[in-house]
Chains A and B, each alone.
Chain A
């Protein structure tokens, strides 16, 4: 395997509703930022890969026009996944592993606000048996939360503490949408959105964009004084049907963490893409992260959850902290699908 590192990361402010800029305008400053950090132009990247979904834009081929934010002329080697940008980074990392290229630009964006997000996300489900029922994304998460409560693994009080900690961590994150939190005791006075999930246990609806640059070996050392080296990277998927899964655990996250060798050495901090409060514990336990691991110093997906983007931001936030010397070994995680169906795990190290 070639040594590959994250050498630059940028994100837009993560906002409840961006109406004054379209997707290209949202992305352009973010991509300009990583170009400036690396001193690279569009033509310098060996490969460009992005993640997004047409169902947020309400338009077929929506990614075609957002490619304009890169300025792909002369023509570039480029691809796109209909997945979170973390998987776009995976595709780019694979291409570097073939030896064909040494650098890649990866970006993602999601305007979650234009439609009824809970209804939109229900379009991910089995089109014959589930879609006609319009089961919304918060209701499905609530089923999972109920299963966690019933298992005795966690309590509603635990979730209030998770929510408060994440949003307090976000106070030091200028890009986060929700910063600061009342005390957990007060949060427990919230009404249920869908029982047993109260408002604070749910993620915000977020519009945002992010970009990352990855590079191999000497190129990475040239572009960054302290690159965040990708020492493990794997992703796995579970079946979609909730009826065939034990919702209180995440087999796919556990498998991916094992393949990415999370457990080989101590982890200083983790950025987990756990939009709902009860999901943080599920992911944590799946990866075997103990109480000594600092979780979501950025505030995580509970503080900003732009669809298709929040996973790539977890990787970028972890990489930035490694580069800044806040730790030597970190885990970044991305998820997709209802109730943590698909999971990606990335281990980052400073040396």
Chain B
């Protein structure tokens, strides 16, 4: 087994400080800050890079059409191949996967990949609220779309009301250990989350992701490049899956595309017992309740059982399956970069470079992202050891 093609590994990781408004930098300055840090981490300069892959969510979020054209020189891509990926919210993960495939295909040896969003440049709420005649007028942002699916999950699983609160408290407190995270609220308690404003019942304000400016960058290298550093994060499997937004009978609580994507990436990585074999998970949880829902979709718990892991503290940093020690999307959400941050944080864990939010002994980690109407998935499994071929 193993991922297809030549071995590839993450050899450099960088991210910006994420904030509501990074008024101190332009869009180019933001992406360059993350890219520069990834290069420094990899011990490389711009000239060492063979190709650049850029990802971000809708261009309307900044008001720049195909912004990679404008960013070509600030990302050192002039004279090189530059690709731009856009797969909705899963894009940060998909972008890392496309960058990896360039190495796995044997086309390039060192690829820089960057994902970003600078939400303060515009109003994501409007960009997410699609106008007539394209769609029914659901002028309610992403939370309005997902709240009914969370309700359906609660009904199907008989989960008690407090599970979402537990997730929010955990992720917001984990974020205090991550200096790059956007939301740092040391006074977060069960009651402070519970008493926060109800936005889209059952999603409260403190159970919702923020709007962030931020970027994330990775340097992906081949076997020779990885041999030059102490702690590469080897890519053991990558997968993407998509399904339609709407059709009669679609299960939006436990989407088939997510299950298929997980099965694919586990098969590549030789994972038959996800709960036992994966040490830490960085999963895309923009609304608190998606943690138990994805625990089931990813095979860490049986159907209707995911909330019990959360309730029992299994997903805490001290539990046996830590989820989002970085603080996750609930604490930091530069949308286009959020998926790559999950992939990057998973890689940081197996490299042992996660600092205060490091899980001791993490050897195998899952990075997960989703997008659209919970219909686009991208995932990778990274490990401290090279894949067995």
Q: Spell out A's residues near B (CB within 8 Å).
A: 1, 48, 53-55, 57-65, 67-68, 71-83, 87, 90-91, 94-95, 97-100, 120-121, 123-128, 131, 234-241, 244, 251-252, 255, 336-338, 341-342
Contact = CB atoms under 8 A, between A and B. Distances in A.
Interface in B259-316: 260-261, 264
Contact of A79 (B57, B66, B81, B85): B85
Nearest to A56: B65
Given A55-B65, A74-B260, A76-B241, 4 more contacts: A58-B131, A90-B83, A94-B107, A341-B69
B276 to A, nearest CB: 26
Interface string B1-33: 001110000000000000000000011000000
A79 B5 contact: no
Among A67, A75, A123, chain B packs the most CB atoms within 10 A around the CB of: A75
A72 B243 contact: yes
B84 A98 contact: no
B260 A75 contact: yes
Contact of B66 (A72, A83, A128, A234): A83
A235 B5 CA distance: 22
Given A60-B128, A100-B5, A72 B79 contact: no
B86 A63 contact: yes
A71 to B, nearest CB: 8
Interface in B357-373: 372-373
19 contacts: A48-B242, A59-B131, A68-B244, A77-B239, A83-B84, A87-B83, A91-B98, A94-B102, A97-B5, A97-B101, A98-B5, A123-B64, A124-B65, A127-B62, A236-B80, A237-B77, A237-B79, A240-B70, A336-B69
B241 A127 contact: no
A252 B79 CA distance: 6
B43 interface: no
B180 interface: no
Contacts of B61: 60
A344 B60 CA distance: 26
Contacts of B121: 127
Contacts of A91: 83, 85, 98, 101
Contacts of A83: 66, 83-84
Which range contains the number of B residues in contact with the other chain? 35 or more
A51 to B, nearest CB: 10
Nearest to A251: B79
Nearest to B69: A337
Interface in B216-251: 239-245, 247
Interface string B91-134: 00010001001101111000000000000010000011011001
A240 B243 contact: no
B85 A236 contact: no
Contacts of A1: 106
A100 B4 contact: yes
Given A60-B60, A97-B105, A251-B79, A82 B239 contact: no
A232 to B, nearest CB: 12
A99 B5 contact: yes
A127 B242 contact: no
B64 A124 contact: yes
A67 B127 CA distance: 20
Interface string B38-76: 000000000000000000011111111111111011000
Contacts of B104: 98
Given A76-B241, A97-B5, A98-B4, A341 B72 contact: yes
B78 interface: yes
A256 to B, nearest CB: 8
Given A54-B59, A124-B64, A75 B83 contact: no
6 closest A-B pairs (Cβ-Cβ)?
A98-B5, A97-B105, A100-B4, A60-B58, A75-B257, A78-B242
A73 B243 contact: yes
A54 B69 CA distance: 15
Given A60-B130, A121-B65, A341-B72, A67 B101 contact: no
B240 A77 contact: yes
B72 A127 contact: no
B50 to A, nearest CB: 11
B234 to A, nearest CB: 15
B252 interface: no
A78 B260 CA distance: 13
Given A77-B241, A97-B106, A237 B88 contact: no
Contacts of A125: 70
Among A61, A95, A336, chain B packs the most CB atoms within 10 A around the CB of: A61
A81 to B, nearest CB: 6
Contacts of B376: 64, 78
Contacts of A237: 69, 72, 77-82
Contacts of B257: 75
B87 A79 contact: yes
A251 to B, nearest CB: 7
A94 B105 contact: yes
A345 to B, nearest CB: 11
Contacts of A131: 63-64
Among A54, A78, A98, chain B packs the most CB atoms within 10 A around the CB of: A98
A98 B59 contact: no
Nearest to B91: A80
B59 A72 contact: no
A227 B102 CA distance: 24
B54 to A, nearest CB: 9
B58 A124 contact: no
B81 A236 contact: yes
B88 to A, nearest CB: 6
Contacts of A64: 88, 245, 372-373, 375-376
B130 A59 contact: yes
A148 B352 CA distance: 56
Interface string B172-200: 00000000000000000000000000000
A240 B65 contact: no
B65 A53 contact: yes
Among A53, A77, A234, chain B packs the most CB atoms within 10 A around the CB of: A77
A336 B83 CA distance: 12
A73 B244 contact: yes
A119 to B, nearest CB: 11
Contacts of A80: 85-87
B79 A82 contact: no
A275 to B, nearest CB: 16
